[in-house]
Amino acid sequence: MSEARSQPVSVERAADGRRVVTYYSTVAVTLHWLIAVMILSNIVLAWLHEDVSSATSARLMLWHKSTGILVLLLSLMRLAWRVAYPAPPYPAGLPAWERTSSRIVHWGFYVIMIGMPLTGWIMTSGPRTKAALMLYGVVPWPMLGFVHGAQGQAAAVWHAVGETHGVLAYLAYLLIVLHVGAALKHQFLDRDVIMARMMPWMRR
């Protein structure tokens, strides 16, 4: 492990006196872990729903759709926060290929965090859907007017979007494997500070 890669996760002053924070803010960390747990649960719910009775399946899918809509709202907040407060600078010794691949995976995740719920919402608002969506059986959530009851060309678009939800699921699996693999590599092979940037309890 190079000295630069293990520089402390902290608040420092640059040479020109600017304040440089080398870890993610509490808001970013809270949203990261909330969204991560919800996405992983949603994937499990989608997998489970096929192997259970139709009543249980409907309940699991209601949780899936409700959690998905919550992910959409939280991810829009996360994106707004990310634009307002850029990510902390990478540790100085981090190689260029790791910086580039981390950026690709992180922005790929934003596509998943917003694209999965949006395509799911469009799918659920489709021509065949009759009942309104009640989040967790309690909070009414609108159907998207431009697909609800769609015919012809619009119905074909709706069908394509439904397929996209499944395709994005494969992209999500790939990104999760790469992201968790990278986090474990940094923690256990490189033994650097990357994990601590997103895990406040590990900060020195």
- Residues near ligand HEM (CB under 6 A) are 32, 35-36, 39-40, 42-43, 46, 64-65, 68-69, 71, 82, 87, 102, 106, 109-110, 113, 116-117, 120-121, 123-124, 165-166, 169, 172, 176, 179-180, 183, 194-195, 197-198
Tell me, what DSSP letter sits at residue 202? Answer: G
Task: Give the three-class secondary structure for 134.
Answer: strand
Selection from 203, 3, 164 nearest residue 91 by Cα: 3
The CB-of-44 to ligand HEM minimum distance in angstroms stands at: 9
Q: CB 123: neighbour CB atoms within 10 A? A: 20
Residue 156 contacts by C-beta under 8 Å, 6 or more apart in sequence?
none
The CB-of-123 to ligand HEM minimum distance in angstroms stands at: 5
Chain centroid, CA 123 distance in Å: 19
The CB-of-116 to ligand HEM minimum distance in angstroms stands at: 4
- Distance between CA atoms of 201 and 204, rounded to whole angstroms? 9
The CB-of-52 to ligand HEM minimum distance in angstroms stands at: 12
Task: Give the three-class secondary structure for 87.
Answer: coil
The CB-of-127 to ligand HEM minimum distance in angstroms stands at: 13
- Residue 16 or 54: the one with the smaller Cβ distance to ligand HEM is 54
- Residue 21 or 43: the one with the smaller Cβ distance to ligand HEM is 43
- Residue 102 or 158: the one with the smaller Cβ distance to ligand HEM is 102
Tell me, what DSSP letter sits at residue 139? Answer: E
Name the strand (E) or helix (H) holding 135. strand 133-135
- Residue 155 or 198: the one with the smaller Cβ distance to ligand HEM is 198
- Distance between CA atoms of 92 and 89, rounded to whole angstroms? 8
- Residue 3 or 50: the one with the smaller Cβ distance to ligand HEM is 50
